[in-house]
Amino acid sequence: MPVLSYDTLRSHLSRVLLALGCPADEADVIADALASANVAGHDSHGLIRIEQYARMVQSGEIEPGTPTTIVRETPATALLDGGWNFGQVVAKRAIEMGIEKARACGVSTISVKNSNHLGRLGEYTVMAARAGMMCVATVNNHGRGNLVAPFGGSDGRLATNPISFACPGPERPVLVDITTSVVAEGKVRVLRNAGKSAPEGWLIDNQGHPSTDPADLYTDPRGAILPFGGAVAHKGFALSIMVDIMSGALSGAGCSYSGTCRLGNAMYFNLTDIEKFVPRDEFLEWVTTLKNHVQASPPAPGFSEILMPGEPEFRTEERRRRDGIEVDEGTWGQFLECARSLGVELSG
């Protein structure tokens, strides 16, 4: 299994993105975001995406280099049009604008339509947290991406509709970054590429029966992912509905439906400048108190410690920056083939 350093991975990604026609500064932004997803342990949103992005650029679905335009704006809000550029480029512009507006007004909301897939949503809420903000972000699939069954339903009707929250923490930001489905679609794709089974409770086949075969999500007609929550999946479903509305209805991009439309990520970012409410140190003291309080709970059988949300990613990042990032053979082969087809020869 190839093991790549962060810098090698980032440089490989950047070269392929340049070959796909991305301007150099945008190729760097996208490569950073994809390599950061791998380094944080979310391989479903890193290198594995390049093959899909290459197809989308070649079919005209992604339009590298297009500017992000302001459709409507007030001092605290903006509706942006991403011009169908890469979502990583559009989301970075949106969050930077959100930070600037929240600094000036105390709070800001940025809504975005006409953008492609932004990858890992937590990348952007953490950017806001590092700027002293509390941030909530959601995306839907711009009306498409019917992969997740509604609670009580037997076929895919919703996108995986993730939601992320982040805020400053004592050593690192607190980060919640979750799909409202049991699992992100990319994680099913990682298992399919690796020839592994999916855990029970993730999938149903195209007849609505429980399945552990990742291929069931890629057949025609296809199966579906379940909303998160297991026995209480009505909660995952309920959250998914609101994420779809916050992302798709507010931006005008559209909520999940049965028609055919362009696949992308409509985005919602809400930022609060903490210092407009309490001094940063006081806020951090309360977050630290909460962290210490929950982590003092004696670990239950089968657990060795209690982690704050975000700690698994930050720990994986420390390890992978030190020891390298393992890439499974299937994904690596797919990436090399994609690079070769664009005339990019890669080694190591």
Ligand X SMILES: NC(=O)c1ccc[n+]([C@@H]2O[C@H](COP(=O)([O-])OP(=O)(O)OC[C@H]3O[C@@H](n4cnc5c(N)ncnc54)[C@H](O)[C@@H]3O)[C@@H](O)[C@H]2O)c1
Q: In angstroms, what CA-CA distances link 203 with 43, 160, 161, 188?
A: 20, 13, 16, 9
Residue with Cβ nearer ligand X (10 or 142): 142
Strands 133-140 and 163-167: antiparallel
The minimum distance between CB 123 and ligand X, in angstroms, equals 8
Helix or strand holding residue 69 (H, E): strand 69-73
Residue with Cβ nearer ligand X (64 or 310): 310
The full DSSP string for 98-129 is HHHHHHHHSEEEEEEES------THHHHHHHH
- If DSSP codes are grouped into helix, strand and coil, which group holds residue 54? helix
Q: Are 210 and 203 in contact (CB under 8 A)?
A: yes
Residues 6+ apart with CB under 8 A from 235: 228, 229
The minimum distance between CB 164 and ligand X, in angstroms, equals 6
Residue with Cβ nearer ligand X (84 or 339): 84
CA 211 – CA 41 distance, rounded (Å) = 25
Residue with Cβ nearer ligand X (217 or 339): 217
The minimum distance between CB 180 and ligand X, in angstroms, equals 8
Q: Are 97 and 71 in contact (CB under 8 A)?
A: no
CA 152 – CA 163 distance, rounded (Å) = 22
The minimum distance between CB 12 and ligand X, in angstroms, equals 21
Residue with Cβ nearer ligand X (199 or 210): 199
Residue with Cβ nearer ligand X (36 or 339): 36
The minimum distance between CB 67 and ligand X, in angstroms, equals 21
Residue closest to ligand X (Cβ): 121
Residue with Cβ nearer ligand X (207 or 288): 288
The full DSSP string for 138-155 is EEE-TT----BPPTT-SS
The minimum distance between CB 347 and ligand X, in angstroms, equals 30
Q: In angstroms, what CA-CA distances link 274 with 120, 288, 311?
A: 24, 15, 22
Residue with Cβ nearer ligand X (313 or 328): 313
Residue with Cβ nearer ligand X (248 or 342): 248
The minimum distance between CB 121 and ligand X, in angstroms, equals 3
The residues with which 266 forms a beta bridge, in sequence order, are 140
Q: In angstroms, what CA-CA distances link 143 with 11, 158, 259, 260, 265?
A: 33, 9, 8, 8, 9
Peptide bond into 173 cis (omega under 30): no
The minimum distance between CB 204 and ligand X, in angstroms, equals 18
CA 24 – CA 173 distance, rounded (Å) = 30
CA 259 – CA 205 distance, rounded (Å) = 22
List of residues contacting ligand X (CB under 6 A):
42, 44-45, 117-122, 139, 160, 162, 164, 175-179, 183-184, 187, 265, 307, 309-310, 312-313
